[in-house]
């Protein structure tokens, strides 16, 4: 049976044209970094300077952490500080380093029926949405954005599940923005995905700038002690490159829709 399996896998490998000449690295990351175009901008620079080929699996932060926990990626690049610290504390990650941040922004209909443009703070904005009964779509997918949104509702003292207009899409930022556009609802997005998003229809950025909307991204190599097969050296070089002056400059130079959306903040 084992023999048969091995030859089957070999045939599959041949059919799929698996060729591992260059060193490759699997990065589990978030939809915001991929869909905003950041990876398309920084990875060619990393690959040129290290000759390591990077393969990005872009999913929500929750799923990315799970992929790392199972040992299916070599390094993670995600944004949910509390969950990241837990991941490292449980021994799945070697360490976590700050890389950059962007921020969350409130997106809503241009005419702003809940009047949150002048709410002054994120918590007031959520209270205004709850009070006005306007629809709000949530990621509902355990992503970093979803986790941040739930933290904000909690701090605002509102139970979103009790709101009639609250809907969970259970999907990525893009599909959630598509639904907000189709139903003239409010939502919380990361700034990068919003700038790169095309199907905006009636939506506009209605509130940003509150420090509680700060959204830090960290890099975590998967712990080789836990998963011996991970590409330890390549993962290490990826993490070190991101926080190096070269990597930080590449991140700072990236533009989505003409705007800087990621701000490097690695500690020297």
Partner 1 sequence: MTATLLDALALLGSFDHRLLEIVGLSLRVSLSALLIGTLLGLPLGAWLAVADFPGRGACNVALNALMGLPSVVVGVLVYLALSRSGPLGGYGLLFSPAAMIVAQSVLVVPLIAAVTRQIVEDAWREYAPEFSVIGIGRPQAVRLLLADCRFSLSVATLAGLGRAMSEVGAVMIVGGNIDGYTRVMTTAIALETSKGDLALSIALGIVLMSIILTLNVVAYGLRCWAARRYG
Q: Does 75 bind partner 1 (CB under 8 A)?
A: no
5 contacts partner 1 (rule: CB under 8 A): yes
Residue from the set 46, 197, 217, 262 that interacts with partner 1 by CB under 8 A: 197
**Minimum distance of partner 1 from residue 28's CB (angstroms):** 8
Footprint of partner 1 on residues 229-248 (CB under 8 A)? 229
110 binds partner 1 (CB under 8 A): no
Q: How far is the CB of 157 from partner 1 (least distance, A)?
A: 32
Instruction: Say if CB 140 and CB 152 are below 8 A apart.
Output: no
| H or E element at residue 103 | strand 97-109
Q: Shortest gap between Cβ of 158 and partner 1 (angstroms)? A: 28
Report the residue from 181, 207, 219, 239 that binds partner 1 according to the rule CB under 8 A: 181
Tokens of 142: 């355990």
What residues have CB less than 8 Å from 263, skipping those under 6 apart?
100, 101, 102, 251, 252
Residue among 9, 89, 225, 249 that touches partner 1 (CB under 8 A): 9
Interface with partner 1 (CB under 8 A), residue from 12, 89, 212, 253: 12
Number of DSSP helices (H) and strands (E) in the chain, helices first: 11, 10
User: Using CB under 8 A, which of 31, 138, 187, 189 touches partner 1?
Assistant: 31
The encoded tokens of residue 207 equal: 């509130």
Which residue stretch of 27-35, 87-95, 103-111, 153-161 sits at the interface with partner 1 (rule: CB under 8 A)?
27-35
Please, what sign has the CA dihedral across residues 29, 31, 32, 36?
A: positive
Site membership for partner 1, residue 216 (CB under 8 A): no
Q: What is the DSSP string of 7-56?
A: HHHHHHHHHTT----SEEEEEEEEHHHHHTTHHHHHHHHHHHHH-EEEEE
84, 96 contact by CB (below 8 A): yes
Show the site string, 154-173: x = touches partner 1 by CB under 8 A, - = not.
Answer: -----------------xxx
255 forms part of the interface with partner 1 (CB under 8 A)? no
- Which neighbouring-strand residues pair with 180? none
CB atoms closer than 10 angstroms to residue 91: 10
What track of x and - describes contact with partner 1 for positions 35 through 54 (by CB under 8 A)? x---xx--------------
* Residue 176: both structure tokens together: 């959630």
Residues near partner 1, by CB under 8 A = 5, 9, 12-13, 15-18, 26, 31, 34-35, 39-40, 55-59, 70-72, 171-175, 177-178, 181, 196-200, 227, 229
């Amino acid at each position: 049976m084992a023999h048969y399996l091995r030859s089957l896998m070999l045939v599959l490998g041949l059919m799929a044209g698996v060729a591992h000449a260059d060193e490759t690295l699997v990065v589990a990351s978030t939809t915001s970094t991929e869909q905003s175009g950041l990876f398309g901008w920084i990875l060619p620079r990393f690959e040129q300077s290290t000759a390591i080929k990077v393969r990005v699996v872009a999913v929500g932060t929750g799923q990315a952490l799970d992929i790392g926990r199972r040992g299916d990626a070599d390094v993670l690049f995600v944004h949910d500080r509390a969950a990241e610290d837990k991941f490292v504390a449980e021994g799945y990650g070697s360490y976590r380093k700050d890389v950059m941040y962007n921020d969350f922004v409130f997106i809503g209909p241009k005419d702003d029926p809940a009047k949150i443009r002048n709410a002054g703070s994120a918590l007031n904005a959520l209270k205004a949405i709850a009070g006005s009964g306007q629809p709000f779509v949530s990621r509902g997918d355990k992503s970093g954005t979803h986790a941040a949104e739930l933290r904000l509702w909690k701090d605002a003292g509102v139970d979103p599940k009790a709101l009639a207009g609250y809907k969970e899409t259970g999907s990525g930022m893009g599909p959630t923005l598509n639904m907000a556009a189709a139903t003239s609802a409010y939502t919380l997005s990361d700034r990068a995905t919003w700038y790169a998003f095309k199907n905006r229809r009636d939506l506009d950025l209605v509130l940003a700038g509150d420090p509680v909307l700060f959204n830090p991204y960290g890099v975590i190599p998967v712990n080789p002690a836990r998963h011996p097969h991970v590409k330890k050296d390549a993962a290490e070089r990826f993490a070190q490159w991101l926080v190096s002056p070269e990597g930080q400059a590449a991140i700072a130079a990236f533009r989505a829709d003409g705007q800087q959306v990621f701000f490097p903040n690695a500690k020297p």
